[in-house]
Chain A
Amino acid sequence: MKRKTNKNLILGGLLVGIMLCMIAVGFFWTPYDPEAMDSADKLAGVSFSHLMGCDNFGRDIFSRVLKGSGTTLFVAVGTVLIGAFFGMLIGAFTGYFGGIADEILMRVNDVLFAFPSILLALVFISLLGSGTYNVIIALGIAFIPSFARIVRSEFIRCRDMDYIKSARLMGAGSLRIMFVHILPNTVPVLLSAVMIGFNNAVLAEAGMSYLGIGVQPPDASLGRMLSEAQTYLFSAPGYALFPGITLILLVLGFSMLAEGIREQNQSGQG
């Protein structure tokens, strides 16, 4: 059968690539200082000097979107790293060894998994206090169960396969089997999960910053900009629309990439 071109993978990769380039540019250079206020330009409309207009303090929205998406991505990366690392460890040990510890951990995991992750993060925020790094920790912990679940089922699938048995016969230790033999085989599934994780992390960060418990002012964050923009929705709709659309493009890119990777895995197996 002719191999279908994987539209999701290409489009998603392109979208994420463009967004990453913009964020990288915003890291080193923005048209204006994202925190510089200019009272003459309060709520200015779209123009050549201000591509997306200005906010209620006369700050350039385009510069703030660039910086803000960087903050959002930074939180997302941190979150996914924490979630994936600890989720992988827990999933690997429970999946490989099984037993009572597995039973208990998975019971707890089931409950946490069913619990909406943003609420879980809110619990940790109320314990830790707000701020960028606390949001990363809180969301990261909230993301552990979903990664643990995925890695665990992959380990259970692999642990009795022939190549593992032969590795065991050759005298490889459990740790070596787990991390040198099984782990590389979970990468395709894990990669798709990481992309979905990015997708959810961006959404969750934006939600928490919107509620005012995430990134603190004057730092720019897409969610924070949206909550500030809401007051000026009628007089300056662009103030809300541009950060919102950026957010959508970012999420869309990651979700398409996840879908594309999943399709790629299936066609590889089929």
Chain B
Amino acid sequence: MMRYVAKKLAGLAATVLVVSFLVFAAFAVIPGDPATSMLGTQATPEKVEALREEMGLNDPLPKRFARWAVEFIQGDFGTSYSYQMPVSSMVGEKIPVTLALTLLAFLMMVAMSIPVGIFCARHAGGFLDRAITVLNQVIMAIPPFFSGILITLLFGLILHWFTPGGYISYTQDVWRFLGYMVFPAFAIALPKAAMAVKLLRSSVLSEMKLDYVRTAYSRGNRTKSVLYRHVLKNALIPVVTFLGMALADMVAGSIIIEQVFNIPGLGRILLTSISNRDYPVVQAIIVCIAFLVIFVNFAVDLIYKLVDPRITLD
């Protein structure tokens, strides 16, 4: 196991390095000079040149990447072009908002999909199962921002369960913050939960056809104990992979949903920074999310190994 983890960690480090270099290089080759944009159009060429030298923009790319990487590890993400403040403090206070939204959505997805998926598999072919399958297909086709709009219309404007746009910061009141977050989280979780239900259902059904299930039955087990003690553990393996990918997708999904529900999270700064061409901010956010994605994949690999001892070192 230790060797497995070590090998995976080495791969992780390599991927992190390659990805951050790719992002860095992409932002380094774009036309437009940060020094010129910081000083404005009136700046003299000498002043621009001095600032370029001061910012280290005249150095070769690998040297600039190395410096940027070292600063990044130390928690210095550079300075925003348009706000003239450190990126780390701009991004830092937004991370908890987006993280809370994503985690809440993830928990909702798991809580909704696993019981429903098992139910559908147990009653496969029944009326409720068929109804849920059709409903699933429709839910998967609804873009999250549209379900967000529908949720605003239904729960906000008609039922008055929450005030649309009435976001409360977590520093003010944690419970009311979470109370508001439930609705956007639901919008993010819904399509992913539908996919998870579909996957779990088919995974359980295909496991049920295998020989060890017949053996378990022949030893006198009831359906319930076969399902929960034998089948479920194997059936969850493909679902774990999906959940890992879904978590990464949810981070991206929350960026859009934040706009629907007027939540000042990472998505808001990312979008304003993109339209302002404020590259240090965009770069920092993208690299952070990339690290998160890579790390989640790594965690999924480890969980995989724990759940399924058949997976070998290679």
User: Which A residues form the contact surface with B (CB < 8 A)?
Assistant: 107-108, 111, 114-116, 118-119, 122-123, 125-127, 130, 199, 203, 206-207, 210-213, 223, 226-227, 229-230, 233-234, 237, 240, 244, 247-249, 251-252, 255-256
Contact = CB atoms under 8 A, between A and B. Distances in A.
B146 A248 contact: yes
Interface stretch (B54-62, B178-186, B251-259): B251-259
Interface string B133-156: 000011011110110011011000
A255 to B, nearest CB: 6
Contact of A206 (B27, B143, B150, B297): B143
Contacts of A108: 18, 22
B293 interface: yes
Contact of A126 (B142, B143, B251, B277): B277
Contacts of A212: 271
B153 A240 contact: yes
Given A211-B256, A240-B149, A127 B293 contact: no
Highest count of chain B CB atoms <10 Å: which of A115, A119, A256: A119
Contacts of A107: 14-15, 18
A114 B143 CA distance: 20
A229 B286 CA distance: 30
A252 B138 contact: yes
A210 B282 CA distance: 19
A122 B256 contact: no
Interface residues of B, number: 47
B259 A210 contact: yes
Given A206-B143, A233-B152, A233-B157, A213 B274 contact: yes
5 contacts: A114-B294, A119-B252, A207-B145, A240-B149, A240-B153
Given A123-B286, A233-B153, A234-B157, A115 B293 contact: yes
B18 A119 contact: no
A249 B141 CA distance: 8
Nearest to B149: A240
Interface of B: 14-15, 18-19, 22-23, 26-27, 30, 137-138, 140-143, 145-146, 149-150, 152-153, 157, 164, 245, 248-249, 251-253, 255-256, 259-260, 270-271, 273-275, 277, 279, 282, 286, 289-290, 293-294, 297
B281 to A, nearest CB: 10
A269 B18 CA distance: 40
A2 B266 CA distance: 54
Contacts of B286: 119, 122-123
Contact of B294 (A111, A127, A251): A111
A226 B148 CA distance: 11
A120 to B, nearest CB: 9
Highest count of chain A CB atoms <10 Å: which of B141, B149, B150, B153: B141
Contacts of B142: 248, 251
Contacts of A248: 138, 141-143, 146
Contacts of A118: 252, 255-256
A233 B290 CA distance: 35
Contacts of B157: 233-234
A127 B30 contact: yes
Contacts of B251: 116, 119
A251 B279 CA distance: 34
